[in-house]
Structures are given as C-alpha cells and as structure tokens.
Amino acid sequence: MTAPRITNVSNPAAFGAEWNDGESRYQLCVSRGTATLIMGHWSAEQGRWFNTPVASPERFGMTRAPKSWREFARIVEAFITAGTN
C-alpha cells in the first residue's frame, strides 16, 4: 500500500493533518501546547465528522506537546503506519 499524502491543515490554535485512503477521509489534530491527540473520520454517508481522543498517544511518539509541524508530522506518520499494519 502506498503511503497517503498528508496535508497540513494547521491553524494558529492547533496542528492538524488530513489524509484519505481512497474511500475515507481522516484528520489528526492537537491543540497547540497540549498533548491531547484527536482523530477525526469523515462519514460521507452521514455527511459529518466523527471525532475521538486517541488513547495513549505516546504509542505514536507523542510524549509531549509538539512544537513544530515537522514534529507533529512524524506523529501523524507513525499513527498512519500503525493503522495500516
């Protein structure tokens, strides 16, 4: 499987990343200065986002609040890789 293209959807309040797997659309975000990782899934069928906190974000290398997009992108890549294995 080819790694999905990750789009930076960050804003001044949060780091955010979006990608799709050809069928579904996903987002991962963290409010700046926090270590709470939120995962979102777009349901085309219902026309809305479903969001949930990620349990144990340290599994993906997030041991503290990310300070840069590059740092956050590594967490996102680890999250995607874990979900495809």
Output the pLDDT for position 79: 95
Q: Residue ranges per domain, the chain?
A: 7-80
- Number of neighbours of residue 73 by Cβ within 10 angstroms: 15
pTM, rounded to two decimals:
0.87
The span from the first CA to the last CA of the chain, in angstroms, equals 10
Q: Under 8 Å CB-to-CB from 82, ≥6 apart: which residues?
A: 59, 60
Residues 40-56 pLDDT 10s: 999 888 888 999 999 99
Output the pLDDT for position 8: 97
